[in-house]
A and B are shown apart, each in its own frame.
Chain A
Amino acid sequence: MLPRKAPIQMSPFEYAPAPESRAVVDLQSSYGLFINGEFVDGGGNAFKSISPATEEVLAEVSEATDADVDAAVKAARTAYTRVWSKMSGADRGKYLYRIARILQERAREFAVLETLDNGKPIKESRDVDIPLAAAHFFYNAGWADKLEFASLPGGANPQPHGVVGQVIPWNFPMLMLAWKIAPALATGNTVVLKPAETTPLTALLFAEVCQQADLPPGVVNIVTGAGPTGQAIVDHPGIDKLAFTGSTGVGKMIARAIAGTRKKATLELGGKAANIVFDDAPIDQAVEGIVNGIFFNQGHVCCAGSRLLVQESIAEEVERRLKRRLGTLRVGDPLDKNTDVGAINSKAQLDRIIALTDAGESEGAERWDNGCALPDKGFWFRPTVFTGVTQTHRIAQEEIFGPVLSVLTFRTPQEAVAKANNTPYGLSAGIWTEKGSRILWMADQLKAGVVWANTFNQFDPTSPFGGYKESGYGREGGRHGLEPYVKGTH
């Protein structure tokens, strides 16, 4: 109804720098592995963890070899057999509550460290990642002594697998750790966890929290390293169950590696979510939802709304409002409290984003970015929108995992569903309409594990999360998130 074009406005209300202090973080120059309740040196070559915003070296981190992983699995097995499997659910719950409280008490420290190591804006690590991580521990702590009422396989006596190997990604380092460790411990398993090689520091700080909470040695073991360390966990015969969050490619390798073994796995993989906007949508909030869907965490989100499907009748209007909104996004120093979009996590990821966006341009889609200034050092990418995208373009098919939105249009609800489902992935989807019946119909048709209505990227420990198709299997969060950690399931 408002077809008129208006120039994009940039705000002159220049906010003075408002940096969060780094003083709260006590960075060590080097970190070891956390095995059997103690920090030990790894046998491999130490590697550096850098701040992607400045390329500053933050610390040296040990690389765990096969022997180190073996030691970690053995420690976890011993802790399982002698202590954790014999402990009552109520007592396990006490440890989890204690960890949750310590995470809250040290929230600022975790948030600053996460932002330093990952490059995400402090307002996200402060308001989303760390509070949610603590919430997952609180939530699962509550289940620990009530598992017989959780309708789990095993009924009144659900049985843990034993030792769980967990490999987590770099996009939400601390939150993914919480998603993995909290339900595993609540159900009575012990864990060996490997954080991503570019973001190991909050996991190592979490190891300190385990010590602070007097968690029995060996219940949680943290081994750092890259692909080979992960492979060593996957292949280790002492591992009973695997939980992995990361790329679909690695997920497939894991599935192949454990085929024919007794190991179970939960895989939470990639996505190419459709964010579907109908012509009766609350348009200003839909624009916010589009922004939150793809520019939250620099688009490094497996469930990111990377494909905008907008009804053709309002496509121009939505595009105009979206571009105006992107003009106010603040890109820069992740430690500044007013930063909306931070740094790309690594050079490798930046290269991948550049390659895919170049492909989008050469395949004929129209490229636009908000033109903001970028810092000289570090890894950065402007919030970018591609219009005129079709299903056959690579940028509509492949997961970019960056601040890049592909805009497609549709004419009818049926077409929206067909296009949304026309992807090998099926992790999440969004629906924007004021018509309640259409939300229910669409949610029923969409092949996605999570469907958001008139919102996007909302997470809660009580809500199960997971994918269809190549986005993986198994659920995390909620009562459903306990199931993969007891015998009789994946």
Chain B
Amino acid sequence: MSTTTETPSRTAIDATARARDLLGVSRLTNQALTTWLHGLPGVDQVGCEARAAGLGTRSIKTTSKQWAIDLAISMIDLTTLEGADTHGRVRGLAAKALVPDPSDLSTPRPAAVCVYGDMVATAKQALGDSDVKVAAVATAFPSGRASMAIKLADTKDAVKAGADEIDMVIDRGAFLSGDYLTVFNQIAEVTKACDRGDGTRARLKVIMETGELVTYDNVRRASWLSMLAGGDFIKTSTGKIQPAATLPVTLIMLEAVRDWRDLTGEMVGVKPAGGIKTSKDAIKFLVTVSEIAGEDWLTNQWFRFGASSLLNDLLLQRQRMTTGAYSGANYIADDSPSTAY
């Protein structure tokens, strides 16, 4: 299994024109977006949570488990997002991404390291020309409470520093007050700001902060709105708000990307972030990806885990499956023990 697949280099689409087309309107108004989003089928909370719990009871053993652990490792966005981050810590994280397990060099690498914008250059330099991407949070992460000019400057700054991927936050205040057009426009503008000017662009992950949206209906609407506005990925959380990535929320998002492809033929990725700490949890998510969205999403091109401590548990399990015995935390090299998630 390859650690990372080719990043699409398509330039930003004209999201507004496509939205007009999909919605069948001559002018994209908040009213048109509201009618469209509120016309999506509702989500029954009890049924959704029961389905997620049911998927969580799948029993993944032996060869399937080995395969899933390697896949999960390759899907991690290894993350540090703290006020106390230093260049040294980021270099440590990058070293970890390059050689996740020095005792077993066959271990796949995570998909990316995820850092604040001012750390992009450091991360980029440490990762060199490896296939590990650099993702940067932007747009006044985590709250998103800044002017649009600041958000765009934040994004352009990270792209200019070499970020392969941008993790933006939506304006949850605007979303919750029903101002969908503002959310749409901001995502569309950030998408454009991801352009490198050479015909390529950084992939955009749209963080919806589902813990602040609260209802599954909101998660479904925010997912569709983010895809409509041109996001390459929809992402659950910043990791700063509880609850973060739950299985039912991820299930709703996987249904959204599945149905979006039915409608448009295009694939959008999903990234649960925050709170996924164990291999057991990660495998539940992979089962859900497989049974809800389908096999096409079982690659780090279309599914990621935003996590830090998850990697070490996956490595521990991987060692256990290789050697037949549990080692322990002291046998897992850890450059940057994190408390972020």
Give me the interface of A with B, judged by CB distance under 8 Å. 1-2, 4, 6, 9-18, 123, 127, 280-285, 288-289, 328, 337-338, 434, 454-455
What's the Cα separation between A18 and B61 when bound, in Å?
Answer: 6
What's the Cα separation between A394 and B199 when bound, in Å?
Answer: 63
Interchain CB contact under 8 A, A15 and B263: no
Chosen A-B contacts, 23 in total, with CB atoms closer than 8 Å, are A1-B41, A2-B262, A4-B262, A10-B295, A11-B291, A11-B295, A12-B298, A13-B298, A15-B64, A16-B61, A282-B41, A282-B42, A284-B43, A284-B51, A285-B43, A285-B44, A285-B47, A285-B51, A289-B47, A434-B42, A434-B44, A454-B46, A454-B47
B47 to chain A, nearest CB (A): 3
What's the Cα separation between A454 and B46 when bound, in Å?
Answer: 9
Instruction: Across the A-B interface, give the 6 residue pairs with the lowest CB-CB distance, nearest first.
Output: A285-B47, A18-B59, A13-B290, A337-B59, A282-B44, A9-B294
What's the Cα separation between A10 and B48 when bound, in Å?
Answer: 21
A383 to chain B, nearest CB (A): 15
Residues of A within 8 Å of B59, CB to CB, are: 15, 18, 337-338
State whether the Cβ of B39 lies closer than 8 Å to any Cβ in chain A.
Answer: yes
Q: Which chain B residues in 22-50 approach chain A with CB under 8 Å?
A: 39-44, 46-48, 50
A443 to chain B, nearest CB (A): 17
B12 to chain A, nearest CB (A): 24
Q: Which of A127, A284, A289 contacts B255 (CB 8 A)?
A: A284
Interchain CB contact under 8 A, B42 and A12: no
Most buried by A among B47, B291, B295: B47
Residues of B within 8 Å of A4, CB to CB, are: 262-263
Interchain CB contact under 8 A, A13 and B61: no
Most buried by B among A2, A280, A328: A2
Chain B 287-301 interface 0/1 with A at a Cβ cutoff of 8 Å (1 = within): 100110011101000
Q: Which chain B residues in 222-271 approach chain A with CB under 8 Å?
A: 255, 259, 261-263
State whether the Cβ of B160 lies closer than 8 Å to any Cβ in chain A.
Answer: no
Residues of A within 8 Å of B41, CB to CB, are: 1, 280-284
How many residue pairs, one in A and one in B, have C-beta atoms under 8 Å apart? 86
B148 to chain A, nearest CB (A): 31
Most buried by A among B48, B286, B290, B298: B290
Residues of B within 8 Å of A17, CB to CB, are: 61
Interchain CB contact under 8 A, A1 and B39: yes
Q: Which of A9, A283, A338 contacts B58 (CB 8 A)?
A: A338
Residues of B within 8 Å of A15, CB to CB, are: 58-61, 64
What's the Cα separation between A11 and B59 when bound, in Å?
Answer: 15
Interchain CB contact under 8 A, B295 and A16: no
Interchain CB contact under 8 A, B47 and A13: no
Interchain CB contact under 8 A, A284 and B48: yes
Q: Which of A12, A281, A288 contacts B51 (CB 8 A)?
A: A288
State whether the Cβ of B62 lies closer than 8 Å to any Cβ in chain A.
Answer: yes
What's the Cα separation between A29 and B287 when bound, in Å?
Answer: 40
A78 to chain B, nearest CB (A): 46
B4 to chain A, nearest CB (A): 20
Residues of B within 8 Å of A284, CB to CB, are: 41, 43, 47-48, 51, 255
Residues of B within 8 Å of A285, CB to CB, are: 43-44, 47-48, 51
Q: Which of B39, B43, B261 contacts A282 (CB 8 A)?
A: B43
Nearest to B261 among chain A residues (CB) is A6
What's the Cα separation between A283 and B291 when bound, in Å?
Answer: 17
What's the Cα separation between A96 and B329 when bound, in Å?
Answer: 48
Residues of B within 8 Å of A127, CB to CB, are: 57
What's the Cα separation between A127 and B56 when bound, in Å?
Answer: 13
Q: Which of B40, B43, B47, B295 contacts A1 (CB 8 A)?
A: B40
Nearest to B286 among chain A residues (CB) is A13
B227 to chain A, nearest CB (A): 13
A489 to chain B, nearest CB (A): 34
A286 to chain B, nearest CB (A): 8
Residues of A within 8 Å of B57, CB to CB, are: 123, 127, 337
State whether the Cβ of B65 lies closer than 8 Å to any Cβ in chain A.
Answer: yes
Residues of A within 8 Å of B39, CB to CB, are: 1
Chain B 273-312 interface 0/1 with A at a Cβ cutoff of 8 Å (1 = within): 0000000000000110011001110100000000000000
B103 to chain A, nearest CB (A): 25
What's the Cα separation between A266 and B291 when bound, in Å?
Answer: 42
Interchain CB contact under 8 A, A6 and B262: yes
State whether the Cβ of B63 lies closer than 8 Å to any Cβ in chain A.
Answer: yes
A334 to chain B, nearest CB (A): 14
Q: Which of A9, A123, A337, A455 contacts B46 (CB 8 A)?
A: A455
Q: Which of A9, A18, A281, A337 contacts B295 (CB 8 A)?
A: A9
Interchain CB contact under 8 A, B290 and A11: yes
What's the Cα separation between A338 and B50 when bound, in Å?
Answer: 16
Interchain CB contact under 8 A, B263 and A280: no
Residues of A within 8 Å of B261, CB to CB, are: 6
What's the Cα separation between A328 and B58 when bound, in Å?
Answer: 13
Interchain CB contact under 8 A, A280 and B42: yes
What's the Cα separation between A126 and B286 when bound, in Å?
Answer: 24
Residues of B within 8 Å of A12, CB to CB, are: 290, 295, 298
Nearest to A432 among chain B residues (CB) is B44
Residues of A within 8 Å of B42, CB to CB, are: 280-282, 434
Interchain CB contact under 8 A, B263 and A2: yes
Residues of B within 8 Å of A454, CB to CB, are: 44, 46-47
A315 to chain B, nearest CB (A): 15
What's the Cα separation between A289 and B50 when bound, in Å?
Answer: 11
Most buried by B among A280, A282, A454: A282
Residues of A within 8 Å of B286, CB to CB, are: 13
What's the Cα separation between A67 and B68 when bound, in Å?
Answer: 60
Given contacts A13-B290, A16-B63, contact A2 B259 (CB under 8 A): yes
Residues of B within 8 Å of A289, CB to CB, are: 47
What's the Cα separation between A4 and B266 when bound, in Å?
Answer: 13
